[in-house]
Every structure is written in structure tokens, then in C-alpha cells.
Amino acid sequence: MCGLALTGVVGGTALPDPAGAVHARAAADAGPDCPPGTVARLAEPGAVRGGDSAELTPEQAAGYDERLREALRSLRSHDIAPPDAVPVVVHVISAADGRGHVSDARIDDQIDVLNTAYAGGYDPDGTDTGFRFTLSEVTRHENDDWFSDFNAHSEEIRSQLHSGGADTLNVYTADLGSGLLGFSSFPQDQAAAPDQDGVVLAHDTLPGGGRDRFGLGHTGTHEVGHWLGLFHTFQNGCTTPGDYVADTPYEREAAAGCPEGRDSCPHRAGLDPVTNFMDYSDDDCMTHFTEGQSRRMAEHWAAFRSPQRL
């Protein structure tokens, strides 16, 4: 069992990813063993099973940050900026009986959610990160095995379907089981396993999918944040350097639902960032990224995803 060291879930699972660190948003029973660097996205912190952490250790997070710092040393400050648009390829995996079918309209709605979130449109004081997303292609694949057990076929699926280079966001939708909502690779791992790069989403988390509490499309917002290099807001808990972003308050553990006034690190400035897209709150609670997160995503883009860099 892949243990979860946060304050848990009604279970929780994080799937292995051959590309390296995986960031998963999970809600139910823990699944297979997790590789180093696996991060679970929990929908119900509170009911832990297992004893080993499924979060990045402080050492692993520091390693990713050091790789970012090394890559940035050869860049000039004016090179650090988001692209005009990120091309998105969506791979819809469905079953023969129609389960998992995601309509073109729902895919368009997911792209709209991403663009609104990354433009700061869900919060009057929200940060416009500068990132915009353009749908370039939708591929459809009817395969019962792939649909019902994405984890068992993950490497095969992505090897066959992945499209484009480091600057292309590949999104895969399937049935990820009763608990897993989504997971993503890190930009630092793209060069080592380019065909495993991308974001995987439970099909019912896209807008209109009917997923209770997580049906507004912000699993996509959250996982794309990881694809662009962000850690969870509660990375390292109350301990320096937290999530490596100066303007996100420290947070001891993931949020559930939409708690008001929570202050899990009282000796640190600010209340917990429960409405930040990189926490574990319900979709309708998530509203914004910060200026610091915007800068960090632009740094990762310049270091690992920009065609001019590669």
C-alpha cells in the first residue's frame, strides 16, 4: 500500500509514474506502492492508512528546486516569461459501453476553466499568471483495459499517444478508480522521459462530469500547476522553505472542504492558503494563484519547457 502521511483521506492513492515525481489528487483507498517523489492529492484529509509518506520529502523537493536553480543560471531575467499560448492535446480514453466519453463541449469547458484560473478570473484580486491554453487536438481511444486500469497500462498508453514536445500539454482522461482524481509529471523529469510527460485526469472531474465536490475542472487547474513546477501549498509543512514560494502562507497539512480561518502554523504569518489552487480544497473553494507562484511557473517554463531553451 502506498501510505499517506498527511492527515489523510477516506483512503488515498497515488499512482507510480515512470517519469519520476507524480502529483496525484486522490480520494479513496490507497493503491499500489509509490515510487520516490510520489505526491497524493487527497480529497478527504483525515483518515490515513499506511505509515509511509506519499508526499515529496524535504530532500526530494530541495532536489527539484536545485535543478531549477541550476537551469536558471544560464538564463537572463528577460527570458523568464510565460509563452503566448500552451498547446493542449487531449487524449480521451473510454470503454466500449460509452463510459468515459468526454464530449468536445466538456473539453472546451475545461480549457476555458484553465484560462480563467490562470488569468486570475476566479478572484477579484487574483493574479494573472500570463499562461494561456489553446486546444490543438483531441484524440479518442476506445479500450476497456486502458479505461478501467490506466495505472497498469500508464507507460504504454502515454508512449503510444503522447504528442509534441516539452511545450505541449498532453492531457489523458480515463476512469482512475473510486479515489484518484488526477496526477501530473514535473517539468524537471521531461527530458529523461519525454513520452511520459503530461497530466492524467479522472474523466468525471472535467466540467459537466458530475464528480461530487470535484466536478468544476479544478483538478485540471491543480495538476497543470504541477506540470508547470509548483509544489503543494503544504509542502514541508510549517518548516522553511515551505513550498518555495514566498507569498503563500505556511500550512501544516492539506485542507479539506473549505475551512474558514484555519491557521495550522500559528507562529508563521498569515492564515492557511485554503483557497489556493495548489491546496486540496473542494473545487468551489479554489480561487487563485499568487504572484510568487506565477513567477515560479514562468521560471520552470523558461528552464525546462520553452522551445527557445531546448
- Give the type of residue at 198: G
Whole-number Å distance between alpha carbons of 303 and 305:
6
Nearest CA-CA partner of 95 in 140, 152, 157: 140
Whole-number Å distance between alpha carbons of 160 and 174:
15
Nearest CA-CA partner of 77 in 308, 302, 309: 302
Catalytic residue among 44, 59, 137, 223: 223
What is the SS3 string spanning 259-282? CCCCCCCCCCCCCCCCCECCCCCC
- Based on the residue annotation, tell me whether 137 is a catalytic residue of this protein: no
Do residues 226 and 23 touch, judged by C-beta distance below 8 A?
yes
| Burial of 62: CB neighbours in 10 Å, binned 0-12, 13-18, 19+ | middle
The catalytic site residues sit at 223
